[in-house]
A and B are shown apart, each in its own frame.
Chain A
Amino acid sequence: MTIRVVKPGLFTTVQDLGRYGYAHLGISPAGAADPLSFRIANLLVGNDENVPALEMTLLGATLEFEESAIVALTGASCECKVGFAQVPVNAAFDLPAGAALKCERMTTGARCYLSVQGGFDTPLVMGSASTLVAGHFGGFKGRGLQKGDVLHVRQPDSVRIRSLRPGALDSLRAPRPLRVTKGAQQDWFGSEAFEKLFSSVYIVSEQSNRTGLRLKGEAVRPREQSELLTDGIPLAAIQVPQDGQPIILFVDQQTTGGYPKIANVIAADVHSVGQLRPRDEVRLVEVSIAEAVKAIGEQERWLREIFIS
């Protein structure tokens, strides 16, 4: 089965849950920016959670389906239509053969996921279908989708779909501060810097993408300006360059860097980073490593409980 790209939207890529094991060669994981919504999209249509799906950014794509398909849309709220009829979100639904699915502007959140039963058929590169645009590889020809591209979908080996309990995703909607742990170079910063970091409201800058999110607001500065020996960067580390404006390094991040890392978004809140839009407000709140580990465990249990079995 094939899907033709009528309009690519702002930036639409094929992703899975990322490419691991190659950071020592300078290769960042890439993968879905909101892995939670990505997994839910796949689970709804009965796929394994790591099957390739589309990530759309801020403005959705228009896609023409050659044959009938079972699809699901998750993540940012986005009005999606076939003809004049609105299609459901956070639920699997049937698209008839020849249908054009039109996804429009996202109103809250930055990224919307489209899964198709069977999954997109893109080659695995280093074990993953994720697009890494900076490396020009993975996903569909190593780039964002363009008008006229034709994507192939695998034949599904099951026709089982899942559905969510009513209100299951309400807890994701409420705006919350991003939870962070203190970073690898926390000793470089005094209590004053941390007070600023945790009391300020930051604005997500327009120059934010899958590589990193630049935050604008109260500058935080190390006790003294010294030079850090380049070291490894964990996913969602918050580094502070010379101007003191924090940057959250994200899924397409550089694997090493020379700026001190003051904090790190916890694994359980990475999905929220993926839904931040330019001009959104961000607050940061400190949690301990133990609390962060507990939160990711709870999130995994939550993900298993939100589906009607």
Chain B
Amino acid sequence: MKIIPASDSSLLVVFGNAISPALHERVIRLFYSFQAWHDPRIRNLHPGYASLLIDFDPLRMTHDELISVVQQLALASDSAVDRRANVVTIPVCYDIEFGPDLLDVSQHAGLSVEEVVRLHSSPTYLVYFLGFSPGFVYLGGLPESLHVPRLATPRPSIVGGSVGIAGRQTGIYPVDSPGGWKLIGRTPLRMFDPEATPPTRLQPGDRMKFSPIDRATFEDISRRAEARLT
């Protein structure tokens, strides 16, 4: 474990330099220890693949104070009992209309569309962290045969809920935004709702599965979600 002052108000705790569930487990344990510790001097926690950035109030805490807290919590959290990760199922409609790049992905991978859907929805993915934009998840576990390059030109706007693939990554655009991932489907669930507690459906360290649904089920869940919101 390496502790680096990243700014006058933050520390970066680095556990290693690889994308691996084992390193990530240490990130998540320290992250949840800090959350449970509830110190108002800590302003923000940013878990990454193999690091945790801790943002604090420099008027109320020094780097040295925080370093000793990190060391204590890291020791305690390394020996702590396993935190039980949530396994969240996200329904996805792999329809051509929602996944305009499905054919492109299937051609690139040399697989039928059905095989692409089966492969994409078979693993249990690990939510490494959320970042980039509100509710955007970085998932690990995409089968290698589905690693395809991102779009040459990003789309100026993508509907929230769209499921995409880029390189070794897969994920869900939580809100309407531009983006360059290849789109293969869409979930009817809202992945980010600023009024909800918690505001995102997935948390760092969660496990998740994509579950294929047909168009009728998609419309049905969408209708019920809208009814709940109005």
Q: Interface residues, chain A, CB within 8 Å of chain B?
A: 20-27, 29, 125-126, 132, 134-138, 142, 181, 183-184, 229-237, 254-257, 261, 264, 266-267, 289, 292-293, 296-297, 300
B4 touches A264 (CB 8 A): no
Instruction: List residues of chain A with CB within 8 A of the CB of B19.
Output: 229
Instruction: List residues of chain B with CB within 8 A of the CB of A300.
Output: 59
> Taking the complex as formed, is B12 at the interface, i.e. its CB lies under 8 A from any CB of chain A?
yes
Ordered by A's residue number, 6 sampled pairs between the chains whose C-beta atoms are within 8 Å are A25-B130, A27-B199, A184-B12, A231-B46, A256-B46, A264-B7
A234 touches B10 (CB 8 A): yes
Instruction: List residues of chain A with CB within 8 A of the CB of B200.
Output: 25-26
B47 touches A267 (CB 8 A): no
B45 touches A24 (CB 8 A): yes
Known A-B contacts A24-B47, A184-B12; A293 and B198 likewise in contact (beta carbons under 8 Å): no
Min CB–CB distance B202 → chain A (angstroms): 9
Instruction: List residues of chain B with CB within 8 A of the CB of A20.
Output: 43-44, 55
> Taking the complex as formed, is B51 at the interface, i.e. its CB lies under 8 A from any CB of chain A?
yes
Q: Interface residues, chain B, CB within 8 Å of chain A?
A: 4-10, 12, 14, 17-19, 31, 43-53, 55, 58-59, 62-63, 129-136, 138, 174-177, 192, 194-195, 198-200, 203-204
Known A-B contacts A125-B194, A264-B6; A24 and B48 likewise in contact (beta carbons under 8 Å): no
Known A-B contacts A23-B55, A126-B199; A183 and B48 likewise in contact (beta carbons under 8 Å): no
Min CB–CB distance B127 → chain A (angstroms): 11
Instruction: List residues of chain B with CB within 8 A of the CB of A134.
Output: 133-134, 175, 177
B131 touches A230 (CB 8 A): yes
CA distance A24 to B5 in the complex (A): 19
B133 touches A26 (CB 8 A): yes
Min CB–CB distance B1 → chain A (angstroms): 14
Known A-B contacts A26-B130, A229-B18; A183 and B8 likewise in contact (beta carbons under 8 Å): no
A24 touches B46 (CB 8 A): yes
Known A-B contacts A25-B200, A134-B177; A184 and B4 likewise in contact (beta carbons under 8 Å): yes
Min CB–CB distance A239 → chain B (angstroms): 12
- List 15 additional A-B contacts (Cβ < 8 Å) besides A23-B44, A296-B8: A24-B44, A24-B203, A25-B135, A25-B203, A134-B133, A181-B7, A184-B12, A229-B49, A232-B12, A234-B53, A254-B131, A255-B44, A255-B131, A256-B48, A256-B129
Known A-B contacts A21-B44, A23-B45, A135-B192; A184 and B204 likewise in contact (beta carbons under 8 Å): no
Residue of A nearest to B48 (CB): A231
CA distance A267 to B57 in the complex (A): 10
7 closest A-B pairs by beta carbon, nearest first, are A232-B46, A232-B53, A256-B131, A292-B8, A231-B48, A264-B7, A23-B44
CA distance A225 to B18 in the complex (A): 17
B50 touches A229 (CB 8 A): yes
Min CB–CB distance A43 → chain B (angstroms): 17
The contact of B59 among A23, A181, A183, A296, by CB within 8 Å, is A296
Known A-B contacts A233-B46, A256-B48; A289 and B63 likewise in contact (beta carbons under 8 Å): yes
CA distance A183 to B10 in the complex (A): 10
CA distance A269 to B206 in the complex (A): 38
Min CB–CB distance B130 → chain A (angstroms): 4
Instruction: List residues of chain B with CB within 8 A of the CB of A261.
Output: 6
Instruction: List residues of chain A with CB within 8 A of the CB of B7.
Output: 181, 183-184, 234-237, 264, 266-267, 292
A234 touches B6 (CB 8 A): yes
A138 touches B17 (CB 8 A): no
Instruction: List residues of chain A with CB within 8 A of the CB of B53.
Output: 184, 231-234
Min CB–CB distance B199 → chain A (angstroms): 6
Residue of A nearest to B177 (CB): A134
A25 touches B134 (CB 8 A): yes
Instruction: List residues of chain B with CB within 8 A of the CB of A289.
Output: 5, 8, 63
The contact of A138 among B192, B194, B198, B204, by CB within 8 Å, is B194
B8 touches A254 (CB 8 A): no
A232 touches B59 (CB 8 A): no
Instruction: List residues of chain B with CB within 8 A of the CB of A138.
Output: 194
B194 touches A135 (CB 8 A): yes
The contact of B199 among A22, A236, A255, by CB within 8 Å, is A22
B175 touches A135 (CB 8 A): yes
A26 touches B48 (CB 8 A): no
Min CB–CB distance B148 → chain A (angstroms): 19
CA distance A73 to B45 in the complex (A): 34
CA distance A21 to B39 in the complex (A): 11
Residue of B nearest to A23 (CB): B44
Residue of A nearest to B200 (CB): A25
Instruction: List residues of chain A with CB within 8 A of the CB of B135.
Output: 25-26
CA distance A267 to B138 in the complex (A): 29
A297 touches B59 (CB 8 A): yes
B131 touches A135 (CB 8 A): no
The contact of A24 among B63, B130, B174, B175, by CB within 8 Å, is B130
B132 touches A255 (CB 8 A): yes
